[in-house]
Amino acid sequence: IYLVLCLRGGLIEPLLKALALTYNCEKMICQKCYARIPPCANNCCKCKCGHSSQLQPKKKMK
Protein backbone atom coordinates (compact mmCIF):
# COMPACT_ATOMS: atom_id res chain seq x y z
CA ILE A 1 0.00 0.00 0.00
CA TYR A 2 2.88 2.38 0.79
CA LEU A 3 4.35 1.97 -2.70
CA VAL A 4 0.97 2.63 -4.30
CA LEU A 5 0.56 5.90 -2.35
CA CYS A 6 4.03 7.07 -3.37
CA LEU A 7 3.42 6.30 -7.03
CA ARG A 8 0.06 8.09 -7.05
CA GLY A 9 1.58 11.26 -5.61
CA GLY A 10 -0.18 11.19 -2.25
CA LEU A 11 2.89 11.37 -0.03
CA ILE A 12 5.75 13.88 0.20
CA GLU A 13 8.59 13.25 2.60
CA PRO A 14 9.04 16.02 5.23
CA LEU A 15 12.68 16.53 4.29
CA LEU A 16 11.83 17.08 0.62
CA LYS A 17 8.97 19.40 1.58
CA ALA A 18 11.28 21.57 3.70
CA LEU A 19 13.84 21.67 0.89
CA ALA A 20 11.19 22.70 -1.64
CA LEU A 21 9.94 25.47 0.66
CA THR A 22 13.41 27.01 0.97
CA TYR A 23 13.98 26.99 -2.79
CA ASN A 24 10.49 28.05 -3.92
CA CYS A 25 8.56 29.84 -1.17
CA GLU A 26 10.95 31.57 1.21
CA LYS A 27 11.89 34.37 -1.19
CA MET A 28 11.54 38.13 -1.57
CA ILE A 29 9.94 39.67 -4.67
CA CYS A 30 11.03 42.96 -6.26
CA GLN A 31 7.95 45.17 -6.75
CA LYS A 32 9.35 46.76 -9.92
CA CYS A 33 10.72 43.83 -11.94
CA TYR A 34 9.17 40.84 -10.06
CA ALA A 35 12.54 39.11 -9.65
CA ARG A 36 12.84 36.38 -7.01
CA ILE A 37 15.55 37.32 -4.53
CA PRO A 38 16.96 35.59 -1.41
CA PRO A 39 15.12 36.46 1.84
CA CYS A 40 18.11 38.28 3.38
CA ALA A 41 18.47 40.76 0.48
CA ASN A 42 18.07 44.52 0.96
CA ASN A 43 18.09 45.58 -2.71
CA CYS A 44 17.20 43.92 -5.99
CA CYS A 45 20.06 42.36 -7.95
CA LYS A 46 18.73 43.34 -11.40
CA CYS A 47 19.88 46.38 -13.39
CA LYS A 48 16.58 46.85 -15.23
CA CYS A 49 14.83 48.13 -12.08
CA GLY A 50 17.81 50.18 -10.91
CA HIS A 51 18.61 47.92 -7.93
CA SER A 52 15.35 48.89 -6.27
CA SER A 53 14.86 48.57 -2.52
CA GLN A 54 11.10 47.99 -2.87
CA LEU A 55 10.98 44.34 -1.84
CA GLN A 56 8.17 42.30 -0.35
CA PRO A 57 8.05 38.70 0.89
CA LYS A 58 6.59 36.14 -1.47
CA LYS A 59 3.02 35.16 -0.62
CA LYS A 60 2.68 31.96 1.38
CA MET A 61 1.06 28.87 -0.12
CA LYS A 62 -2.40 27.91 1.12
- Which CATH number belongs to the domain containing residue 16 in this structure? 4.10.1060.50
Residue 38 domain flag = yes
Confidence band of 57 (pLDDT split at 50, 70, 90): very high
More confident residue, 18 or 9: 18
The H-or-E segment that residue 29 falls in is: strand 28-30
Q: How far apart are CA 53 and CA 20, in angstroms?
A: 26
Count: domains in the chain:
1
Q: Report the percent of the chain where pLDDT is more than 90.
A: 56
For residue 57, give the nearest of 19, 49, 48, 41 by alpha carbon.
41
The reply to whether 20 falls in a domain is yes
Residue 1: per-residue pLDDT: 56
The mean pLDDT of the chain is: 86
CB 29 within 8 A of CB 53: no
Q: What is the pLDDT of residue 46?
A: 94
Cβ(37)–Cβ(27) under 8 Å? yes
What's the pTM?
0.69
